[in-house]
């Protein structure tokens, strides 16, 4: 059997690779796991109760409508309408099995092998991987000051083959929130060049700002060039139930739905019911969790203020700290291995998110307890 070179050239999942290192540990000291960006806490009671109830309903095992349960499309359209300036119709919402699948179906609907896409560096690795699987050439836009990308600089990366530009805000791995005027600059760029601006808003509830993340939806013509992607995984702590959404114009939804039909037919019904229960009954819970995680970020920044062991926070936000490590003489994979085996700290190497080794690691503080964060500086300070 022979496999696709596009797939065999890819690295294994960086999260899986980090977890494989844990199996090599011989220390007894409990591990500080700063690797994963998925909530490790249970969902709200109302969500759990609804999940159990759905399992007993006669249609629980049936395919849901392909674009998603109408009640969920409606409730999410309302949630977006109240969170942004501008009205979103339920027809603009395509429910997917998570935001990763939303990106995949949208990117496949937009591109053919040989086309090009622009990702902002450091990028979310699954975006890069999917585009490569699809045979799309990725051009990387290095961000400017404060890790904010510049739409004018992006213009120089656009060719007649470019089909999409992707922004992730707040970013994974940087945590940086892209200011609304910059997002609008990218939307104008997309409109001028007849391409799609795909905005992954997985972490929008975890911003420090309470105003709307952008005002793109208030432009009557937004759907000509903008597709916004969402996840229910973090907002309602249901990553395993796989539910997310793509929000776009009629044509974008129709084209993406063809791809979704082949991959999954529809997002799982039970995950959609869980997301719907969250939207209807766990909004306060969602705000409380977001506040709790913002407090963890403050504690993380305080813990890192004196740059323990020479580790320096370059940016933070949402779930993440993007941190420079002190050993530019070593490959970052080696540093991550030493951290886990000798210092009991599990991090993701920055090389999962960048083309070159820039001596960076990603520390995800959102799953730690406050007392675990207080232990972090002394562990990092042990690092030679």
Ligand X SMILES: Cc1ncc(COP(=O)(O)O)c(C=O)c1O
> Which stretches of the chain bind ligand X, using CB under 6 A?
37, 98-100, 124, 168, 172, 200, 202, 231, 233, 239, 244
Q: 269 or 343: whose CB is closer to ligand X? A: 269
Q: How far is the CB of 62 from ligand X (least distance, A)?
A: 23
- In angstroms, the CA 54 to CA 266 distance is 17
CA distances, 368 to each of 55, 166, 353, 363, 375 (Å): 32, 30, 22, 11, 10
Q: How far apart are CA 352 and CA 366, in angstroms?
A: 19
Token pair for 240: 């395993």
Least gap, CB of 208 to ligand X (angstroms):
17
Burial 259-291 (b: 16+ CB within 10 A, else e): bbeeebebbbbbbbbbbbbbbebbeebbeebbe
Nearer to ligand X, 168 or 246 (CB): 168
DSSP SS3 for 53: helix
Least separation in angstroms between residue 60's CB and ligand X is: 22
Which two structure tokens, joined as six digits, stand for 52? 């159990």
CA contacts within 13 A on the Cβ side of 136: 28
In whole angstroms, how close is the CB of 141 to ligand X at the nearest point? 16
Of 69 and 380, which has the nearer Cβ to ligand X? 69
3-state secondary structure of 57: coil
Residue 193 or 231 with smaller CB distance to ligand X: 231
The distance of closest approach from Cβ of residue 165 to ligand X in the complex, given in angstroms and rounded to an integer, is: 15
Please say which residue, 108 or 193, places its beta carbon nearer to ligand X.
108
Judged by CB, which is closer to ligand X: 43, or 244? 244
- At its nearest, how many Å lie between ligand X and the CB of residue 123? 9
Cβ within 8 Å of residue 369, ≥6 positions away:
none
């Amino acid at each position: 059997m022979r496999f696709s070179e596009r797939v065999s050239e890819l690295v294994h999942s960086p999260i899986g690779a980090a977890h494989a290192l844990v199996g090599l540990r011989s220390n007894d000291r409990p591990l500080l796991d700063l690797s994963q960006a998925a909530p490790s806490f249970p969902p709200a009671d109302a969500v759990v109760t609804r999940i159990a109830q759905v399992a007993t309903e006669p249609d629980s095992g049936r395919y849901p409508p392909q674009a998603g349960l109408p009640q969920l499309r409606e409730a999410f359209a309302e949630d977006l309408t109240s969170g942004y300036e501008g009205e979103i119709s339920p027809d603009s919402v395509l429910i997917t099995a998570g935001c990763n699948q939303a990106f995949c179906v949208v990117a496949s609907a937009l591109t053919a092998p040989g086309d090009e896409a622009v990702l902002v560096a450091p990028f979310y690795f699954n975006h890069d991987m999917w585009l490569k699987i699809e045979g799309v050439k990725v051009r990387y836009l290095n961000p400017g000051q404060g890790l904010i990308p510049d739409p004018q600089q992006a213009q120089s990366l656009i060719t007649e083959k470019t089909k999409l530009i992707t922004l992730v805000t707040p970013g994974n791995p940087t945590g940086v929130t892209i200011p609304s005027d910059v997002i609008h600059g990218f939307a104008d760029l997309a409109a001028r060049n007849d391409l799609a601006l795909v905005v992954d808003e997985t972490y929008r509830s975890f911003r420090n700002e309470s105003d709307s993340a952008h005002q793109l939806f208030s432009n009557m013509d937004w759907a000509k060039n903008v597709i916004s992607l969402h996840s229910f995984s973090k907002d309602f702590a249901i990553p395993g139930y796989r539910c997310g959404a793509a929000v776009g114009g009629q044509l974008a939804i129709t084209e993406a739905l063809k791809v979704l039909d082949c991959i999954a037919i529809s997002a799982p019904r039970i995950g959609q019911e869980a997301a719907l229960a969250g939207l209807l009954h766990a909004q306060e819970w969602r705000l409380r969790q977001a506040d709790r995680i913002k407090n963890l970020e403050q504690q993380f920044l305080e813990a890192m203020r004196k740059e323990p062991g020479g580790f320096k926070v370059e940016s933070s936000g949402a779930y993440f700290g993007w941190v420079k490590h002190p050993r530019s003489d070593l490959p970052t994979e080696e540093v991550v291995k030493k951290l886990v085996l000798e210092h009991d700290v599990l991090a993701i190497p920055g090389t999962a998110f960048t083309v070159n080794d820039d001596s960076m690691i990603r520390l995800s503080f959102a799953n730690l307890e406050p007392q675990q964060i207080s232990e972090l500086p002394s562990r990092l300070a042990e690092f030679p």
